Amino acid sequence: MGTLLSRQSCQARLRSAEGMSLAEFMYPALQAYDFLHLHRHHGCRIQVGGHDQMGNIMSGYELVTKMTGTDVFGITVPLVTSTTGDKLGKTAGNAVWLNRDKTSPFELYQFFVRQQDNIVEKYLKLFTFLPLEEIAHIMEMHAKEPEKWGPQKRLAAEVTKLVHGREGLESAKRCTKALYHSSVEALEEMSDQELQELFRQATSAELMLEPGMTVLDLCRKANAIPDGPSGYRKITDGGVSINGNRVTNPETVLILGQHI
């Protein structure tokens, strides 16, 4: 009790307007018991966590050493934060996963490509095995040509390759070309899995091509435009693109090999 109450994080929560729940107060003790259980049943001697877990890991260290007399160890690592400085994780709802079903290679690649200049050098040192001299050179080149986003692209490539292999990296690059560079060639090369991953959050419709189907027919059947004259105008005003190419004639007939 004394140890838990003496911690600054605990005192700050107790003094705050929200207070502290019993579950929060007991959390370090429960995590400490986890460490003891893993040590006894699986020989676990090392616990790794973000540096915000220092107190919980220390509780485990103290419990295991007192109960068993065995030397155990705790390792803390810098927290990975979002571009706004918030913690990344399941609780925050913004976790980046290693599992492809949860975060696709494309999403992982894009997460690192979007990192800001003030954090990218740190991430190159944390998440890649590039020599420090090479990282320094990458940052020097970036200072001369910041518009190329060299460090971000290298970081994204290295991490994606580590997690998903070379094929995963190539998949991420294909998706990037298709989505951000309007590359029909990249779109044609994509697998069904890549297409599903790329457009995971998008509204989708699957339609059979009928002879004589026009752009207007397609857009209406896919519920991509409103009914009536406003939908027709949306096409003529340039609001519809097929495979990255703008189509302004609603009566254009869809052609295999060109539109599809």
Question: Which pLDDT score is estimated for 95?
Answer: 82
Question: Which pLDDT score is estimated for 167?
Answer: 92
> What is the rounded distance in angstroms from the CA atom of residue 53 to the CA atom of residue 74?
10
Is residue 144 a contact partner of residue 154, using CB atoms and an 8 Å limit?
no
> What is the rounded distance in angstroms from the CA atom of residue 61 to the CA atom of residue 233?
68
Condensed to tens digits (0 to 9), the pLDDT of residues 114-169 reads: 888 988 999 999 899 999 999 999 999 999 999 999 999 999 999 999 999 999 99
Q: Is the pLDDT of residue 92 over 70?
A: no
- Region 109-116: what's the mean pLDDT? 91
Of 150, 103, 95, 151, the C-alpha closest to 126 is: 151
- Burial class of residue 190 in the structure, from the number of CB atoms within 10 Å of its CB (0-12 exposed, 13-18 middle, 19+ buried): middle
Q: Is the pLDDT of residue 195 over 80?
A: yes
Q: Which domains does the chain have, with CATH numbers?
A: 1-77 (3.40.50.620), 105-199 (1.10.240.10), 204-259 (no CATH)
Q: Considering the entire predicted model, what is its pTM? A: 0.66
* 85 vs 234, higher pLDDT: 234
Question: Which pLDDT score is estimated for 257?
Answer: 77
- Region 179-208: what's the mean pLDDT? 81
Q: Is the pLDDT of residue 215 over 90?
A: yes
- The share of the chain scoring above pLDDT 70, in percent, equals 97
Q: Is the pLDDT of residue 4 over 70?
A: yes
Question: Which pLDDT score is estimated for 197?
Answer: 83
- Region 157-182: what's the mean pLDDT? 90
Q: What is the DSSP string of 36-73?
A: HHHHHHH---EEEEEGGGHHHHHHHHHHHHHHH----E
Q: Which 3 state secondary structure label does DSSP give 77?
A: strand
Question: Which pLDDT score is estimated for 83?
Answer: 65
* 5 vs 63, higher pLDDT: 63
Condensed to tens digits (0 to 9), the pLDDT of residues 220-250 reads: 999 999 988 999 999 999 999 887 788 999 9
* 214 vs 260, higher pLDDT: 214
Question: Which pLDDT score is estimated for 196?
Answer: 83
